[in-house]
């Protein structure tokens, strides 16, 4: 076995990075809060303590035009620089380096009049940008340089110049968005000038030992994006301008190809970073879906990159690096790439949060202290809420016991993990199992608890989850009708013609499960690239072979039904809902909205749509109409006269919500 490369130091612009693990840029929402610097300091310091070598902050704009929203963070004055000092000091105390990302959104700026190289509207922004004048372009270059100088003044070891994901620099580089006829448009050389002048200007202004990372879009994944030949020229120009290192960027935000969601295979884009490494003499960083040490190590061993960059996995586990270096993979709280509590929050203006680790970005709010009085705690139900509660209670010194009627830990996570593209949910179960065993929590499975079983405990936590919601419908007890648990847990046979009642997360999960034929591309990068038309040869502009994905059509005839009019599946997550809708559409799944359900009989599901009677001639009708709390035991437990706490689905059963479940289990355990 080869020696680990992850722990090997790396020299960059006069700085010795202590390992090859870099924390990727993540906007958290604290950047815009007056006291957010204290929170950021605590958040980043925990990761520095956890062994990471270099932290890249979330994007900060170099001027007022480049902010994401009107309130977005910028760095343009000495006063704003002073705000950052507390962050850089905290990180340096624990031996890590920190670079600030400079990000100008260009035509992606929301809620204002955006600016861009040309007045071409982004498909994901309702606002049409105005084209920057020549003098404004030159001023913007100066704004980047001043921003880097202020970052240096604030104690940052360097900056990352955000040149990918379709933001302003990328908009100058690509023909798709740059139709200028001055020195910043037209030829490739002219389109690269903006990026080149920024990097050269920062190098001249900030000196040789200032780290300049350039995040380069190796794959634009949009029509009329860069070709690989274009990228080769850009790499040479950015190197000549004085960059220290390249980071990898994958896909513009407007691209309709998943690049970080859970159905993207781990390290799916590592070979594209490998091309960048071949073409460059600078150190190169790999990114996207590198969530476990084995994946990271294999990228370095294969010589595809010099360092790995992990963003969300650092939310999931602040100690990721130390655990990786100490060969403790099983102890890592793995990011399952769900986006539910991080990216989905950012896109609706909420603070970044975290599904598997409630403490991330809440270092100053959720404080775990040893229990003042050690108690015996019974936790009934070993789903995400129950496991999180038993773990935290036990870490605080309580004697926790965890019971479940089923034969395995995980509750509804065991259902989620069976959905194609959601295999990462296995990792959440593996992590909790590892921690609970390490802590010595008494686990009793295959045991349906009665109140008497827990009468000698001091406090009882009811984490018994949910029951599927029954709907009132004529024929609901017809043999054609099934619940989602019949399909996903009991694995009852399902016919070829299916109607799914309900278009929330579970309805779509059932749709994914029943429409998946053939191998699962979430487990195979090459198949994933084929399905989503990603050009592995890099000959086509933007790295796209064809504009539309080609997914394996479903053998079943499936219809997802929704009561509400309008787009089916509108309530799905902001950053992943479009992928689920597109995937099912491409597999040929039908979607019907604005339905009134009339009855189920031998003919199938009878509905009314816009006043017209219709019959969906199906073999099965699968009800995915939400759930209700399972509190069957509550009264008997309360009769024991002990404190009884409800958590997870037993408390609130809106959707299957592991994020809320883990948080509520942790919060209750912190208060015991």
Ligand X SMILES: Cc1cc2nc3c(=O)[nH]c(=O)nc-3n(C[C@H](O)[C@H](O)[C@H](O)COP(=O)(O)O)c2cc1C
Residue 338 interaction partner, one of ligand SF4, ligand X, none, beta carbon < 5-8 Å per kind:
ligand SF4
For this structure, is 184 an active site residue? no
**How far is it, in rounded angstroms, from Cα 500 to Cα 249?**
38
Residue 51 interaction partner, one of ligand X, ligand SF4, none, beta carbon < 5-8 Å per kind:
none
Q: Give residues 142-171 in contact with ligand X (rule: CB under 6 A).
A: 162
Shortest distance in whole angstroms from residue 262 CB to ligand SF4 = 8
Phi (first) and psi of residue 376, to 5 degrees: -95, 120
Length of the chain: 672
**How far is it, in rounded angstroms, from Cα 620 to Cα 29?**
45
- In the bound state with ligand X, the residue whose beta carbon lies nearer, of 284 and 342, is 342
Q: Give residues 342-381 in contact with ligand X (rule: CB under 6 A).
A: 342-343, 346, 352
DSSP state of 61: B
Q: Give the residue among 396, 401, 402 at the shortest CA–CA distance from 374.
A: 396
Among 75-83, 268-276, 288-296, 522-530, the segment contacting ligand X (CB under 6 A):
288-296
- In the bound state with ligand X, the residue whose beta carbon lies nearer, of 288 and 483, is 288
Residue 162 interaction partner, one of ligand SF4, ligand X, none, beta carbon < 5-8 Å per kind:
ligand X
- Catalytic residue (one of 108, 156, 167, 184): 167
Q: Give the residue among 70, 68, 71 at the shortest CA–CA distance from 58.
A: 68
- In the bound state with ligand X, the residue whose beta carbon lies nearer, of 55 and 382, is 55
* Interaction of residue 140 with ligand X, rule CB under 6 A: no
From residue 576, alpha-carbon distances to 31, 240, 270, 586 in Å are 24, 39, 22, 16
Shortest distance in whole angstroms from residue 492 CB to ligand X = 36
Shortest distance in whole angstroms from residue 344 CB to ligand SF4 = 8
Phi (first) and psi of residue 614, to 5 degrees: -135, 150
Q: Give the residue among 148, 37, 33 at the shortest CA–CA distance from 91.
A: 37
Q: Is the separation of the CB atoms in 255 and 222 below 8 Å?
A: yes
Residue 288 interaction partner, one of ligand X, ligand SF4, none, beta carbon < 5-8 Å per kind:
ligand X
- In the bound state with ligand X, the residue whose beta carbon lies nearer, of 101 and 231, is 101
Q: Give residues 91-110 in contact with ligand X (rule: CB under 6 A).
A: 101, 103
**Residue 600 forms beta bridges with which residues?**
605
Alpha-carbon dihedral sign for residues 509, 513, 514, 520: positive
- Which residues of this chain interact with ligand SF4, rule CB under 6 A? 312, 315-316, 335-342, 354-356
Q: Give residues 394-423 in contact with ligand X (rule: CB under 6 A).
A: none
From residue 471, alpha-carbon distances to 600, 615, 625 in Å are 12, 19, 7
User: Which residues, including other chains, have CB under 8 Å from residue 479's CB and lie 6 or more apart?
Assistant: none
Shortest distance in whole angstroms from residue 424 CB to ligand SF4 = 8
Binding-site member from 10, 21, 24, 557 for ligand X (CB under 6 A): 24
- Calculate the CA dihedral of residues 240, 241, 245, 250 and round it to 10 degrees: -100
**Residue 160 forms beta bridges with which residues?**
101, 213
Beta strands at 115-116 and 130-131: parallel, antiparallel or unpaired: parallel
Residue 222 interaction partner, one of ligand X, ligand SF4, none, beta carbon < 5-8 Å per kind:
none
Lay out the site mask for ligand X across 298-327 (x = CB under 6 A, - = otherwise): ------------xxxx--------------
Binding-site member from 273, 288, 392, 412 for ligand X (CB under 6 A): 288
Q: Give the residue numbers annotated as catalytic, written as ranges.
A: 167
Contact footprint for ligand X (CB under 6 A): 24-27, 58-59, 101, 103, 162, 215, 260, 287-290, 310-313, 342-343, 346, 352
């Amino acid at each position: 076995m080869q020696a680990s490369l992850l722990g090997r130091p790396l020299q960059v612009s006069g700085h010795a990075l202590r390992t090859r693990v870099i924390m990727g840029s993540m906007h958290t929402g604290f950047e815009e809060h007056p006291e957010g610097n204290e929170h950021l300091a605590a958040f980043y310091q925990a990761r520095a303590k956890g062994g990471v070598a270099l932290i890249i902050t979330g994007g900060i704009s170099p001027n007022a035009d480049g902010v994401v929203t009107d309130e977005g963070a910028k760095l343009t004055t000495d006063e704003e620089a002073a705000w950052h000092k507390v962050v850089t000091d905290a990180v340096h105390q624990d031996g890590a380096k920190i670079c600030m990302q400079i990000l100008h959104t260009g035509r992606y700026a929301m809620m204002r009049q955006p600016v861009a190289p040309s007045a071409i509207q982004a498909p994901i922004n309702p606002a049409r940008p105005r084209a920057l004048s020549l003098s404004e372009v030159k001023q913007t270059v100066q704004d980047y340089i001043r921003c880097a100088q202020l970052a240096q003044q604030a104690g940052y070891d360097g900056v990352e110049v955000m040149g990918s994901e379709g933001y302003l620099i990328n908009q100058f580089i690509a023909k798709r968005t740059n139709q200028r006829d001055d020195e910043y448009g037209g030829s490739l050389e002219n389109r690269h000038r903006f990026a080149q002048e920024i990097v050269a200007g920062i190098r001249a202004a900030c000196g040789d030992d200032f780290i300049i990372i350039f995040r380069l879009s190796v794959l634009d994944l949009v029509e009329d994006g860069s070709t690989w030949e274009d990228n080769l020229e850009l790499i040479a120009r950015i190197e000549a301008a004085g960059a220290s290192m390249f980071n990898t960027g994958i896909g513009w935000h407007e691209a309709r190809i998943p690049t970080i969601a859970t159905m993207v295979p781990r390290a799916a884009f590592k070979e594209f970073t490998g091309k960048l490494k071949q073409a460059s003499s600078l150190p190169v960083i790999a990114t996207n879906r590198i969530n476990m040490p084995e994946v990271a190590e294999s990228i370095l061993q294969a010589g595809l990159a010099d360092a790995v960059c992990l963003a969300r996995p650092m939310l999931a586990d602040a100690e990721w690096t130390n655990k990786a270096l100490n060969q403790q993979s099983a102890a890592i709280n793995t990011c399952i790439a769900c986006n539910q509590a991080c990216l989905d929050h950012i896109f609706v203006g909420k603070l970044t949060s975290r599904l598997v680790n409630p403490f991330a970005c809440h270092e100053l709010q959720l404080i775990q202290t040893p229990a003042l009085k050690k108690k015996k705690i019974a936790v009934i139900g070993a789903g995400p809420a129950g496991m999180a509660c038993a773990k935290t209670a036990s870490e605080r010194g309580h004697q926790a016991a965890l019971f479940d009627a089923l034969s395995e830990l995980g509750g509804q996570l065991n259902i989620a993990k069976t959905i194609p593209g959601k295999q990462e949910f296995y990792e959440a179960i593996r992590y909790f199992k590892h921690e609970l065993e390490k802590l010595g929590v008494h686990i009793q499975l295959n045991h349906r608890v009665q109140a008497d079983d827990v009468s000698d405990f001091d406090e009882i936590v009811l984490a018994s989850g949910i029951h599927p919601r029954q709907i009132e419908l004529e024929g609901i007890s017809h043999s054609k009708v099934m619940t989602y648990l019949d399909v996903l847990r009991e694995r009852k046979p399902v016919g070829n013609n299916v109607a799914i009642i309900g278009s929330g997360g579970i309805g779509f999960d059932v749709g994914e499960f029943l429409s998946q034929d053939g191998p699962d591309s979430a487990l195979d990068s090459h198949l994933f690239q084929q399905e989503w038309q990603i050009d592995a040869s890099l000959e086509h502009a933007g790295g796209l072979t064809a504009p539309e994905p080609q997914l394996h059509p479903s053998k079943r005839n499936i219809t997802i039904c929704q009561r509400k009019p309008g787009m089916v599946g509108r309530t799905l997550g902001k950053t992943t809902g479009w992928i689920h809708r597109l995937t099912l559409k491409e597999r040929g799944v039908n979607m019907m909205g604005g339905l009134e359900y009339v009855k189920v009989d031998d003919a199938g599901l009878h509905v009314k749509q816009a006043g017209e009677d219709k019959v969906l001639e199906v073999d099965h009708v699968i009800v995915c109409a939400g759930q209700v709390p399972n509190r069957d035991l509550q009264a008997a437990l309360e009769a024991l006269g002990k404190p009884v706490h409800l958590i997870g689905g037993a408390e609130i059963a809106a959707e299957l919500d592991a994020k809320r479940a883990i948080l509520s289990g942790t919060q209750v355990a912190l208060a015991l």
